[in-house]
């Protein structure tokens, strides 16, 4: 994998490759700042591609997306059967900030059939965000092996995503302090657009790692950009749920004390209002989002977690009020 990064030219139409297979990885964590960033500072923070515009959205939740950067790759690939081939081309990577508080490093590429020989690098640069599979490898056969992450020397969009996050976090615009602790998460995903019904699977591998596999019908009219936004929305809400759940487990165990209650406030102030599943998903993929979200029940888990926190705070407040009253009150 090369170390060169550059602002991308206007996107072409990699969707001409059929079946379309898109892969990617998203790293999600806190912006290293003690307070949520205002929109103007977020735009400056994400100005990582000179001359390219940062896209900003203010409704229904503040969200900003940097311009794409390209990262060249030329590495071995492995199919589900273990056969080896090569992938040559470029990843697209971008950084996103949601609510001035949550940072995502998102990287993706289309896997396309290539020739038997390596072409001049200018050929691959002319197709930004496309990785050509040389030899007899079939893109659809690579997705299962890619999702396992078992091949350290193969495609690794996560390393590119982590580099993006590190670049943003190193900015002098941040005070490099946090109001509370939160572990980052990583979502590795692969999506195929093909004939047939929708299929989807979202798996929690461990405390930090998630895997998403999608098969989206052609009739949905989805392209690479729309699929990427869907995966980013899922990564964001999975991180919110994971982080709030961790805070709740620490603070709501037992009767609680003033210190435990203070741990809850930053999470409530900075996270609860960001829960808006599907806000960044295109209308044509909202049904896909709903079907994907239904089985793990992210929204149900979120509602239960928020209710748990509010009930705990209300109960603790009543206990503190009762303790402050005199032991006996005069009869009326």
Per-residue pLDDT reduced to its tens digit, 235-294: 999 999 999 988 887 777 655 556 666 777 777 888 889 999 888 888 888 888 888 777
Residue 81 — very low, low, confident or very high, per pLDDT cuts 50/70/90? low
Compute the average pLDDT of residues 306-330. 72
Cα–Cα dist 71/10, whole Å: 15
pLDDT of residue 249: 79
Percent of the chain at pLDDT above 70? 85
H or E, element range at 270 = helix 258-270
- What b/e sequence results for 114-144 when a residue is b if at least 16 CB atoms lie within 10 Å of its CB, and e otherwise? beeeeeeeeebeebbbbbbbbeebbbbbbbe
Cα–Cα dist 39/99, whole Å: 9
Of 266, 230, 275, the closest CA to residue 246 belongs to 266
Number of helices and strands in the chain (H, E): 8, 11
DSSP assigned state of 102: E
Cα–Cα dist 136/115, whole Å: 9
Q: What is the mean pLDDT of the chain?
A: 83
pLDDT above 90: residue 154: no
Find out whether 95 and 165 touch, Cβ atoms under 8 Å. yes
Per-residue pLDDT reduced to its tens digit, 121-139: 999 999 999 999 887 767 7
More confident residue, 27 or 304: 27
Per-residue pLDDT reduced to its tens digit, 2-56: 344 444 433 444 444 445 789 999 999 999 998 999 999 999 999 998 889 999 9
Beta bridge pairs of residue 46: none
Of 184, 229, 238, 193, the closest CA to residue 211 belongs to 238
Burial (0-12, 13-18, 19+ Cβ within 10 Å), 226 = middle
**Residue 174 structure tokens:** 């941040």
Q: Checking DSSP bridges between strand 102-113 and strand 130-133, what pairing results, if any? A: parallel
Per-residue pLDDT reduced to its tens digit, 181-190: 889 999 999 9
Terminus-to-terminus CA distance in the chain, angstroms? 82
Nearest 10 degrees: Cα torsion 185, 264, 63, 13: 20
- From residue 295, alpha-carbon distances to 110, 195, 238, 239 in Å are 27, 23, 13, 17
pLDDT of residue 15: 40
């Amino acid at each position: 994998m090369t170390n060169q990064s550059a602002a991308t030219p206007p996107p072409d139409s990699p969707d001409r490759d059929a079946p379309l297979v898109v892969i990617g990885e998203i790293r999600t964590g806190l912006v290293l700042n003690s307070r949520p960033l205002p929109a103007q500072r977020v735009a400056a923070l994400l100005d990582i591609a000179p001359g390219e515009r940062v896209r900003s959205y203010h409704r229904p939740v503040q969200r900003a997306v940097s311009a794409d950067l390209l990262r060249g790759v030329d590495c071995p690939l492995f199919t589900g059967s273990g056969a080896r081939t090569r992938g040559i081309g470029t990843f697209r990577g971008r950084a996103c900030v949601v609510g001035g508080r949550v940072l995502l490093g998102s990287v993706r590429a289309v896997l396309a059939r290539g020739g038997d020989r390596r072409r001049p690098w200018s050929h691959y640069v002319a197709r930004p965000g496309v990785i050509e599979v040389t030899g007899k490898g079939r893109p659809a056969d690579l997705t299962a092996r890619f999702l396992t992450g078992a091949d350290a020397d193969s495609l690794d969009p996560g390393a590119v995503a982590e580099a993006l996050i590190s670049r943003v976090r190193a900015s002098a615009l941040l005070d490099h302090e946090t109001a509370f602790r939160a572990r980052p998460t990583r979502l590795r995903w692969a999506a195929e657009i093909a004939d047939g019904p929708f299929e989807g699977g979202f798996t929690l591998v461990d405390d930090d790692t998630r895997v998403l596999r999608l098969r989206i019908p052609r009739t949905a009219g989805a392209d690479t950009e729309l699929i990427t936004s869907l995966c980013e929305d899922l990564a964001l809400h999975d991180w919110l749920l994971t982080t709030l759940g961790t805070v709740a487990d620490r603070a709501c165990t037992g009767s609680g004390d003033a210190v435990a209650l203070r741990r809850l406030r930053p999470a409530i102030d900075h996270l609860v209002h960001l829960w808006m599943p599907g806000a960044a998903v295109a209308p044509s993929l909202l049904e896909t989002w709903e079907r994907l979200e239904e089985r793990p029940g992210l929204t149900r888990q979120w509602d239960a977690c928020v209710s748990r926190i509010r009930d705990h705070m209300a109960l603790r407040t009543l206990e503190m009020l009762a303790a402050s009253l005199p032991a006996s009150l005069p009869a009326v």
